[in-house]
Amino acid sequence: MFSRLRKLSLLLLALLAVLGLSACGDSHTRVTTGTYAGEAGDAAPYVNVGPLLYEVQVSRELNPANEEDASYLQGLSAEQRKLEPGEEWFAMFIQVYNISSHPHPAASTFTIYDTQNNIYTPIVPAETNAFSYLGGTVPPKGQIPAFGTTADDSGPQGALLLYKLKVLSLDNRPLELRIVSPEDPSDFATVELDV
């Protein structure tokens, strides 16, 4: 009887392991394109760039008169704060995951394109901005923003990438984000942003 129960237990464990692994999907499949479509990243894709995974949590226009949005603009110089006529602030909150057992550098090139080929690069606030994406090296099994930081604990739960967009570009949607590997410029992924 004991032998039979033991065999049954082993069989059940094996079955659970197979089910668990099948739920993970094909870990060798690289995803290099996706469409962001969900609040707080509910349906946002994880895209592979180099050995890291990137996920856009939220992308949206900012209103500097709003208290929360004003906090995202902290650490900008007077020159950086100036908006030209027809421009507005646009924020994107991103998470970066290192699921490997080795440290890897995070991307520093995040470019937004509209359908008219207008190109936008991030405005980088001073390090005093607790939400700002700073890049750097992601430790093994680590993430950006780091666990327990202000950016991780905030509503968007992502590191801030801040842009000045022409209002016309919001009419020239979809906007597309390109993330480029810091180790190989030919290795990149694109995400269609839902604004």
> Which residue shows structure tokens 């359908």?
115
Q: Are 106 and 135 in contact (CB under 8 A)?
A: yes
> Containing domain of residue 188, as a range?
27-193
Could you tell me if residue 106 is inside a domain? yes
Structure confidence by residue, pLDDT tens digits, 9-46: 433 443 333 334 334 434 446 676 666 544 344 455 68
SS3 call for 9: helix
State which residues of the chain have pLDDT below 70. Answer: 1-30, 32-45, 194-195
Could you tell me if residue 180 is inside a domain? yes
Report pLDDT for 12.
41
Could you tell me if residue 68 is inside a domain? yes
Could you tell me if residue 7 is inside a domain? no
Could you tell me if residue 80 is inside a domain? yes
Could you tell me if residue 112 is inside a domain? yes
pTM, 2 dp: 0.78
Could you tell me if residue 13 is inside a domain? no
Could you tell me if residue 10 is inside a domain? no
Instruction: Give the number of residues written for the chain.
Output: 195
Number of domains the chain contains: 1
Q: Which helix (H) or strand (E) holds 162?
A: strand 159-166
What CATH number should be reported for the domain holding residue 168? 2.60.40.1240
Closest CA relative to residue 159, chosen from 190, 125, 193 = 125
